[in-house]
Chain A
Amino acid sequence: NAGVTQTPKFRVLKTGQSMTLLCAQDMNHEYMYWYRQDPGMGLRLIHYSVGEGTTAKGEVPDGYNVSRLKKQNFLLGLESAAPSQTSVYFCASSLGVNTEAFFGQGTRLTVV
């Protein structure tokens, strides 16, 4: 049982490049989330999904897009990367909004 798997684990991008981060969960969870973690800022919610085919904006959605075409996958896209998007990105999933969230191991992204 893999839980929540994030791909890739590390990436270096040049300013203006695009990329997609993939999150996959095998727990049949309805809710999925993308967070970014920055020193001194804690975890900030980028986008989330309450079910297949749905997405919603979180606290810091600008510069990111998401899709949830399949229940088990939640993709985070950066269309034109900026240095301010250098961060560690975490995906998480939960069965319900008040149940325990399971986190992936993170993706360390550097934009130069």
Chain B
Amino acid sequence: AQSVAQPEDQVNVAEGNPLTVKCTYSVSGNPYLFWYVQYPNRGLQFLLKYITGDNLVKGSYGFEAEFNKSQTSFHLKKPSALVSDSALYFCAVRDGWSGNTPLVFGKGTRLSVIA
């Protein structure tokens, strides 16, 4: 079984400050982890993924995420937030031992960057 949790429904941050959007996961085998972003009235867009290798993954628009196996977390980070980063962020996971089973998405975290 695979599941993912985003413990915060809403994150507020001032422009220029660092931001973190939290994600924890549960899988039986190897976790494959993804972050997507959704702007209003749009579909989801891929930001970054962790499959294997370096625990720090860099993605689009200056975002990065750190895979922490001991804490089963994959938090999304950005050193300096922009107002244009305001959107809905989804973490997703699949179990690498589960064959073709697709991603399971979290409930999403709404990020609001205040000027």
Contacts and interface: CB of A to CB of B under 8 A. Distances in A.
Interface in A69-112: 90, 92, 97-98, 100-106
A43 interface: yes
Interface in A17-44: 31, 33, 35, 40-44
B21 to A, nearest CB: 14
B102 A43 contact: no
Interface in B35-54: 36, 41-46, 49, 51
A43 B6 CA distance: 13
Question: How big is chain A's contact interface, by range?
Answer: 20 to 34
B22 interface: no
Nearest to B45: A103
Contact of A100 (B46, B94, B104): B46
Interface residues of B, number: 23
Contacts of B25: none
B43 A103 contact: yes
Interface string A43-66: 111001010000010110000000
| Highest count of chain B CB atoms <10 Å: which of A43, A98, A103, A104 | A43
Contacts of A105: 41-43
Nearest to B109: A42
B102 A31 contact: yes
Contacts of B105: 35, 42-44
B43 A106 contact: yes
Instruction: For the complex of A and B, list the 7 residue pairs with the smallest distance between their C-beta atoms, beginning with the closest.
Output: A103-B43, A42-B107, A43-B105, A100-B46, A103-B44, A42-B105, A50-B100
